[in-house]
Amino acid sequence: METRTKLTVEELGRKTVEEFKQAKKYPIVVVLDNIRSMNNVGSIFRTCDAFLVERILLCGITPQPPHRDIQKTALGATESVEWKYEKNTIDAVKQLKEEGYTILSVEQTQNSLALNELKLNPDEKIALIMGNEVDGVEQNVIDISDKSVEIPQFGTKHSLNVCNSCAIVLWQVMCQYLK
């Protein structure tokens, strides 16, 4: 029978915060468009750490570290992942476009692309826009995005928690970078 013993912390080869900061990142920026929940923000920080994301932009009403409720779910990822606050999501997205990022709003829209159909160039720089827990990505942000992508869903609910959505989308994007 195959051995499936859990790995120890040492065997996992986790990076220190300093090693993380020095590591080559994937060219992904996660933009949080008016996220309300500090727990969601912390969880997204932790997910971005797991996937070596370049940075996070916290926009509008999105809470910023340091805060105990963000730290509770981030588990220190606010120290490793680079982040910046931007008052206005539109200005942040316009700046990312100028820097050569492809802007992907994660939202259900007319003509949105199913996430499993998303094809990326391995050299492409991506900005993922994650929207507010109630209202989603602002329409004016969708309007200036290059594409909208949605996670196919098959039940009675057609929405997922923003941190779950972020993790799913980042994994799909990472699968393309890892090919």
pLDDT tens for each residue of 90-121:
999 999 999 999 999 999 999 999 999 999 99
Each residue of 121-143: pLDDT tens digit?
Answer: 988 999 999 999 999 999 999 99
Positive or negative, the Cα torsion across 20, 104, 123, 84?
A: negative
Quick one: pLDDT at residue 162? 98
What CA–CA distance (Å, rounded) separates 85 from 62? 9
What CA–CA distance (Å, rounded) separates 157 from 96? 32
- Mean per-residue pLDDT over the chain, rounded: 96
Question: What pLDDT band is residue 179 in, cutting at 50, 70 and 90?
Answer: confident
Distance, first Cα to last Cα, the chain: 30
pLDDT value at 59 more than 90: yes
Domain 20-149+159-177 coded CATH 3.40.1280.10: yes
What CA–CA distance (Å, rounded) separates 73 from 167? 14
CB contact burial 139-149 (16+ within 10 A = b; e otherwise)? eebbeebeebb
